[in-house]
A = this chain, B = another copy of it.
């Protein structure tokens, strides 16, 4: 029985890792100039989506009880405000590094999680609610963020010529 649980957690973690690898390849294949472009007319720029994904992944540290965000300044620029807020964005080369660093550090944590940790509640659900809704656990956060990443990857793919 333990085997099936390990297997299913591996499947969900593999799905996350596969999409992170696809995103890495895509970002590496795009020049800084290409990232400045909008993914479609009137839509978000590549650089905004890179920052947005980095900020959302960075928020996983506190949400999963893994410590503080590495780059808390990204939330205001890339989550709370839209692309054309007029707020100055970090340099593209710095954002590329933030993206890698956040995901590498998350990966180190994920590889050390045991099965029970994945079933623990995340930090934004109360003990009472978690008792009624045990699916609001850390693994579900991973599943949800995988889908969030894939959604924007479908859009970022349009930056490739």
Chain A interfacial positions (CB closer than 8 Å to B): 1-2, 4-5, 7-12, 14-15, 19, 39-41, 43, 115, 119, 134-135, 137, 139-140, 143-144, 146-147, 150-155, 158
CA distance A119 to B19 in the complex (A): 23
Identical chains bound together, number? 2
Q: Smallest CB–CB gap between A83 and chain B, Å?
A: 14
Closest to A10 in B: B135
Q: A8-B8, A135-B11 are in contact. Are A40 and B158 (CB under 8 A)?
A: yes
Minimum distance in angstroms from A5 CB to a CB of chain B: 6
Residue of B with least CB distance to A43:
B158
The smallest beta-carbon distance between A30 and chain B, in angstroms, is: 16
